[in-house]
Each structure stands twice: as structure tokens, then as C-alpha cells.
Structure 1
């Protein structure tokens, strides 16, 4: 009886830990989730969902080997589990093993052929050809009346990618537009509110503010911020830098956004109330968080694109940090956003009017940062990197005070996790097929072009 009570108590304890860990995972508290999953799985190692979620959390902090071990434990318990197989596919994709990733997606589809998200994720890592039987399968799935709007959205994005691969551009755009309309219905994005935020950032972070507090922050020289619009080449630039022997690539790190939210209430207005000593404290907090992932690396990249909103904060909390602004043709940038489904964020990208309006506000803010902090930000154009990779790589390394490293030119061979939509592209040598991509859809994109260039 006592043994039975003890077992019940342990099961309940594990269940509570799993519940807290799941909440931490949902709120992106990766370290908290990892700690709780470890404790819970030590008590109840037969929980397949726990192992799968544990693996997902480990993947978020770059612990690939441990993540794979956890996910394989989950697969042993639940060999057909969608989350288990999906997380294993994601792991392989981030490691650059697209062949293995595709095999896991096909395992899902073998057991659950109507899981449109698996089709969508697989479409992003494979090249389609005319007559590809996968296109027929996708069209059949998309036409089913039994699937919901979310599934139809995933199928439409997948078909857009597939038909663009096969150069059937008119049909590709029809599916891309449908997918965006379906996604936009689920979101709440207010361009007017974003415009007010940008205007307020410009008002608060003027030249006098930047100059007044620029000597107050933490003087750590390690952070390198790689930022700009999504799909502007940030992943490529980080991959080049992270191939250097002295650089650790931290990916899309949430540190700045988290610290601003916690330390500067009512941002951006609240920044006007900060005392000089606050800047060093905030900068040190960021560096401490970064060090948890990067260890003792001499330089660490943070390639969260939307950090362009916080350049005024970065300049003062980390005055020795390098800031690299990635640029790309406005039309290629915007169409690349429009043609892609983002798992989270980027709510502005699913409507062409909102996308164009957002791009103009982003450009306005970047022009402001250059005015108030001349010489502090390096602009690097995606097209220039494609055209003359070595020259632009040397410029990047000089800006970051790094010696030349030949490995930076062989970035596609660098073994590291890449968790963005460009994970597959940075595993290839430099190519130019994405330059002027938008011109295949020039007629359909005329409203966007008119807005951006008006």
C-alpha cells in the first residue's frame, strides 16, 4: 500500500513538473523548461510527449546532440508521433541534413497524409520539378472540403513554393495570395499603431539622447548585432561570421526584446526616464544572457532582425557592440516575406498594403539611426555579398575587428544549427537565383511596387 501511495505521489509530482515545463516552453523560457523536463523525466521516463518537448527546448538553445538523444527516446516510446517525428525533422533541417529531414516528414505523411503542415515544411527544403507527384498530392489535399483553413493555408503556401520551382509563376502566385489571405484572417496587426511607435522611437532617441548616455553602458565588445528586415540576408551574414574561429552564432536571440520589455516599461516612452546607471545594468544583463549560450567566444552574433527597433537602446547599453544592417532590394525583400509563412511574428507580411507600409516605416527608422549615430552602423547589401563575397566578407571582418579567416568563404560547410527560414540556403555555396526573384511576379506585385516607390 505504501509503495502504491509513493508511486502515485511521484506520478503526480512528475505531472506537475511536466505542466510547468510545458508552460515555460510556451513562453520561450527555454532554460526553465529544460530544467523542469529533466526533473520530470527523471521521475517518469515513459512520457513520450515530455521527451519530445524536452528535445524541442534543447534544440532552441543549440544543444543538438542532447536534443537528438531526447527525441530518439521519444521515438522509441511513440514511433508514429507527429510531434516526435516533426521535431526530429526540424533538428535535421537545422543541421543542414535535408535528406534526413525529408525522410522524417515522409514518415509523418505515410501515417497522416492530411497533415498539411508536414507537406509545407517538406516543400521548403526540396526542389520540385515539372510532373512531380508531390504536386499532385498537394493539389488533392488542398481541394479537400474536409480540411480546415489552417491546413488549406499550409497546403497553399506549399503549392506556391512548388509551382514557383517549376516556373509556373501565375498559378504559384494564386496559391501564395490565397495562403496570405487565410493567414491574415487569424492575425491582429495595426499599421497605424506601428507608425505611432516608430514616430515615438524617433522622438525619444534623438541625437542628444544618444550622445548623453553613450558612455554609460557595459563596454563588452563581444556582441555583434545583425539586423534589418526579415529575408534581407541576415542568416547569410551570420553564417559567414559564425564560420570564423572566434565567433559564436547565437541565431535569433530574444535577449534584447526581453530586456527592453522587463527593464523599460512603456517602451519607447519609458526610455526617457532611465537613469545613467540603468544603462550599464541593462547591458550587463544582456551580456550575461548571451554568455549562457556562447561561453567564452571572442565575438557573438545576435541576428534577431527586429532589433532594428532597439538600436537606440543598443547604442547606449552596449556602446562597443557592432551593428550590421542587412539590406536587400526592397521588392525582393518584401516578396520573399510575402511568399513565406513565419511560424511566429512578422504579422505585417500577409497583406501587401501592410507589408509595403511596414517596409517604409522600417526604412524611415534606419535612416534616423544613421543620422543620430553616424559611423556606428555598417550597411551591407545582399546583392553585393553575392557579387563579390570575399570583398564584402573582408569588410565585415574589419568592421568587427576580426582577423581574416578563410573559413568564412566556406560558410556552407560550417556545422551549426540554423533555425531560420534560410537554413537550407546557407548550406549551399553563394548563388544568385534569389536576386530579382520578384520580377517573375511583377504584374501581380505592381500595387506593392507602387507603394514602395511612390
Structure 2
């Protein structure tokens, strides 16, 4: 034994050796003895946390790491271990709060910033995610994970130009790397962007050729179709789209998705019209006003949200699932074992949900008077949202059905949207969504407004003024860059009609 090592130090060193040898049973026994002998040593508790995490006993691991944190609250690696376990256990809000604690201890800690950015991206808060990834890139400008995270955040904010530049930087940075996986993913992303953001180079084509023979084969088919569409090679584009959508199609999942939407529609058709008091178009009740911008995928919701957000009093929440978050909190408070369904929520639970929803709106708003949201699934929840928020408003965005169906058919979705790979299912989905919007307008006429994509992309200031006045916002004449793709389906109308009339 080294002369400068105490028995306690020797025991900790031996436990570390056992951990490196993955002899967790011996390490656990030794560390348990040491913790009883020296309960104020943070390292012992964190090592016990590591033992239990390695054995996938995450609940105990979390307790041990927390004990270490109480002794040494500035230890960022321990705080991050707590955050990772919270995420594994499904404690999303606690996970983000713990990461904020880590960043208070060290605002420049790269792993903490990365995890925080990823957490905010999952929470549909791309602005906060972008801030975290940008902080990493200020000191490590070539960090691949941060580049990807920042590109994805800009994509979610609708800033495809900035996203394309970042994905291009990833491709450039990987030229000398034999592992092309990062470059392949970036190439697929760039290829699927609107025309004005595609940099059609030999390098991009080469990467797509490589990706076609990898696990990204389906992504490449959608990406190549996008390139052909923008280049006007309509026959080649359609062939790629047929291959891609056939590979993704699942009749069973599509039927299930449409049946669920039809069930909601049937329920709404049978509702009686609500009596509505005249409401002043100002946020009331001390809460920000929620403005839900609703429409099927590719309808122009994000464009309208971006237009409204030129007003400094508006906070964009993108597609954040605020309702699901509030329902989960209510279920936890009531100790329920089954999840709550928004459009079937019992009347007695609406009042407590209203308080939770208002608090969540305040948190999301960050001091602003309006919160916009573009989650398309909220078309099912208009009735509930109207009952738990006395000043919630709903703007329904629609567009030419053929154009919309084509844009949906052209897109590979990260998750869900199982109806999107069959043209008949797409048209059925759009029809049901449109009728739901009509039924909600019948039930809540003073809360609902309809606009069209075609009107928005003209840049008509009066149309935006009409929307702003409906929401109770001051009209702002600040403009944004608008790229219209009205008429995008025209070159493919015969092919679309052929699919619509093809059975099976």
C-alpha cells in the first residue's frame, strides 16, 4: 500500500478497479461498506449509482447519484448522470430542470449543452435547442453532433436556408472521413429541401448513390424524387415517388389512422352548438392567449405562424404537444394508471386541467401575450381546448387539395402519418380534416377563422391584418420571405388521378 493512501482511499481505489473489471457484485459490496463508514464522501455514492445503473436498476441508481449531488452540488458529471437516468425513467420535465442545474454550475459544459439542446428539440422548442447547440459551436465549430442539432433546429423553425448551409458544412467536413454516415444523412436532408435551398452537385449525387445501398435507401428515393421535381424531370420524379411510397405503405396502419379520425368526426357531428358569450379579443384571465393554427400536413400552418411571429408579443411553440403534457401531469396528480384521452375527457376533470394548461401556457410564453401552436392533431381537441381556455382561438388553414396531397405524397415522415403513402388515404384524410374544421366552426363560430394557403403566399397585407385582428394582435407590416409552391401538382395531375382510381 502506498504510504500516502488511507484505508478509505485504498477501498475507493479497489472499488474502481472492480468497476473497470465489470465485477459489479464485488464493487457493490465494497462500496456499501465504505458508504456506511464514510457517508459524507460524494464519490462513493456516485460510484454506487454507476454500479446500479450498469445493472439497469435505474431507480436505485438515481437515488445514489442524488445522494452524491447533495454532498457535492457543483459536480456536473454527477448532475448529468441524474439527468440521463431521469430521461430513461420518463421524467422529461425533471430531466430538463436537472440539465438547467448543470448549466448553472458550468454554463459552458459541452455534454450538458448537447443534452439540453436535444431535450429542447424533443420538447418542440427549437429556439432554445438552437441556442444550446450554438453555444457549443462557438468553442468547437466543427462539432458534428452540435452541427446536426443546430441544422435540425433551424429546419424545425422553418429556416431551411440556414439548415441547408449547416448540412452542407457537415458534408464538407466529412470529405476525408471513410465513415460517410454523417455526410449521407446530411445529403438526404439537403436533397429534400425546397428548390431554392438545393445545391445540386456531383458530390451530393455521389453521396446519394452511396446511401442508396445503405439503410437509408428509402430516404434516398424520397430525396431523389425531390431533386427531380425541382429540376422539372417529372417522369423520373414520379417513378421515384412510387417506389418510395410503396416501400413505406401499410394498409393496416393507414386504415387504423383514418378510422380514428372518422371516430372523432362522428363524435363532433353529434355535438350541439355551444352558446358563446361575446369576447373581447384580448388575452384574459391573466394567461397568454393560445392561438391554434390547424390544418393537415403541408397546408401552410408554419408559414402563417411565422407571419404572426413578426409581432414581438407572439411566442411560437411550433408543434409542441402542450395538451398531452398537461394530460400526463393531471394523470400523475390523480394517480391514474391509464392515460387520459383529450376528446373523451370527463367533464369533472376539465377544471383541474384548465389550471395546469394555463400554467403551462405561461411557461411557454415567457412573458409574451400570445402563444401560437401548429400541432395538426389538435383538430381533434378543439372542443376540449375551448372548454379549458376561455379565450383560445383556432385558425384553419387549407389549400388546393391536389397540391396538398402531392406535397404529402412527396414527404418521408419521421414518425406517424401512416396515411401519407397512399393517394386515396391522403385524400380521405384531407376530406375528414376539412369537415372537422367545418364542424368546429359550426360549434364555435366566434372562435374560428379560415384562411387559405393561396391567399397567404400572395403576401397580401390585408389578409394578415384580418388574421391579426381576429386574434386580438396589433398588425405588423414586417414581412418575411415567402416561397409559393401553389400549382405544384399540375405536372402530376394525370398520375394522381390514375392512383385515385386504382383499387388496392
Q: TM-score, normalised by structure 1?
A: 0.78
Q: What is the aligned partner in structure 2 of residue 415 from structure 1?
A: none
Please say if residues 167 and 187 of structure 2, whose CA atoms lie closer than 8 Å, have aligned partners that are also in contact: no
Q: What is the aligned partner in structure 2 of residue 244 from structure 1?
A: 311
1:274 aligns with 2:347: yes
Q: What is the aligned partner in structure 2 of residue 227 from structure 1?
A: 294
What is the aligned-residue RMSD (CA, Å)? 3.7
Equivalent residue in structure 2 for 1:182, among 233, 247, 254: 247
Please say if residues 356 and 448 of structure 1, whose CA atoms lie closer than 8 Å, have aligned partners that are also in contact: no
1:57 aligns with 2:57: no
Deviation of 1:225 (Å): 1.0
Q: What is the total number of aligned residue pairs between the two structures?
A: 414
Q: What is the aligned partner in structure 2 of residue 422 from structure 1?
A: none
Please say if residues 128 and 162 of structure 1, whose CA atoms lie closer than 8 Å, have aligned partners that are also in contact: no
Please say if residues 409 and 420 of structure 2, whose CA atoms lie closer than 8 Å, have aligned partners that are also in contact: yes
Q: What is the aligned partner in structure 2 of residue 36 from structure 1?
A: 98
Deviation of 1:298 (Å): 1.6
Deviation of 1:337 (Å): 1.5
Equivalent residue in structure 2 for 1:85, among 144, 147, 155: 147
Q: What is the aligned partner in structure 2 of residue 425 from structure 1?
A: none
Equivalent residue in structure 2 for 1:133, among 189, 194, 202: 202
Q: Distance in 2 between matches of 1:118 and 1:186?
A: 30
Equivalent residue in structure 2 for 1:439, among 467, 490, 498: 490
Q: Distance in 2 between matches of 1:283 and 1:191?
A: 28
Deviation of 1:139 (Å): 4.8
SS in 1 for 2:445: coil
Q: Distance in 1 between matches of 2:387 and 2:420?
A: 30
Deviation of 1:65 (Å): 6.2
For structure 1, the residue ranges without an aligned partner over 5 or more in a row are: 413-428
Please say if residues 74 and 84 of structure 1, whose CA atoms lie closer than 8 Å, have aligned partners that are also in contact: no
1:193 aligns with 2:259: yes
**Further displaced range: 321-330 or 191-200:** 191-200
Deviation of 1:56 (Å): 1.7
Larger Rg: 2
Please say if residues 20 and 36 of structure 1, whose CA atoms lie closer than 8 Å, have aligned partners that are also in contact: no
**Further displaced range: 52-61 or 124-133:** 124-133
Please show how residues 167-178 of structure 1 align to structure 2 within 5 Å: 167-178=232-243
For structure 2, the residue ranges without an aligned partner over 5 or more in a row are: 1-7, 16-41, 51-64, 66-77, 332-338
Q: Greater relative contact order (Cα 8 A, min sep 6): structure 1 or 2?
A: 1
Deviations 1:139-168 (A, max 9, x none): 522553xx23xx101111111111111111
Q: What is the aligned partner in structure 1 of residue 374 from structure 2?
A: 303
Please show how residues 416-427 of structure 1 align to structure 2 within 5 Å: none
SS in 2 for 1:326: strand
